[in-house]
Amino acid sequence: MKKLIVFFGLFLGLFAVFNQQVFAFDIVPQFVSMVYTNTLGLYQAPSEIVLYQEPDENSQVLDTIKWEKGVIDPNTVNAQDLFVVYLPEKNLGFMAVMDENENWVQVVYNNSTGDTGWIKKDDPYRFLTWINFYNIYARKYGLKMLEGATDDIKNIHVGPDEYSKVVGTVNMPQKINLHAIKGNWALVSVFDIDRRSKTGYIRWRSDEGVKYFFPDIQ
């Protein structure tokens, strides 16, 4: 009987670990959304996230969250609420940034409620403005057009101006390579399903910060 109880306990433990891995899926924006329009960029979360009410170590600690390889502690924290981009296999998690200074960064730690807290920076390179994030990850992986983008967003222009000549459209892109970013416009080469390359400028975000294209992180 004792052996049976021990075996059953081990089974439950393995089942819990298996379930944690099963539900540790990638999170990357798929749809045009207003959620992150007023954010400065993204912060690469450390393995232990200590959230303060103010940018001061003497202020109230709002929460402490630990995460690694798809396992989040406490397990009541939803990865979709915590991260904007979450790649558990790569051990990468990025949180939306509302404000920052030399030593601190204010992040959204619950995307559903909009709750924010301050993290003390342990590495100045963890914070990436949106343009820096795109320059790193879109250059590496390319861009993808988010679902819900209107037809005018699919236009490829000769210059970084909506009044410039349209030289093509993004139809069924197989690959969108980023060459440069100029403000809210991106110089890209688009390889559509017909395998013909079209080069020009696309509007990757609106003046208000709404994203139409996002790094195709895999």
Q: What is the pLDDT of residues 169-183, one digit of tens each?
A: 998 899 999 999 999
Domains of the chain, earliest start first? 25-122 (no CATH), 131-215 (2.30.30)
What does the block give as tokens for 186?
């991106």
Contacts 24+ apart (CB under 8 A), 174-178: 175/142, 176/142, 176/143, 176/144, 176/145, 176/213, 176/216, 177/142, 177/143, 178/134, 178/135, 178/138, 178/139, 178/142, 178/143
pLDDT digits (tens, 9 = 90+) for 87-139: 999 999 999 999 999 999 999 999 999 999 999 999 989 999 999 999 999 99
For the entire predicted model, the pTM comes to 0.86
What does the block give as tokens for 107?
């992040």
Give the model's pLDDT for residue 18. Answer: 39
C-alpha distances out from residue 58 to 102, 103, 134, Å: 17, 14, 35
Whole-number Å distance between alpha carbons of 17 and 52:
30
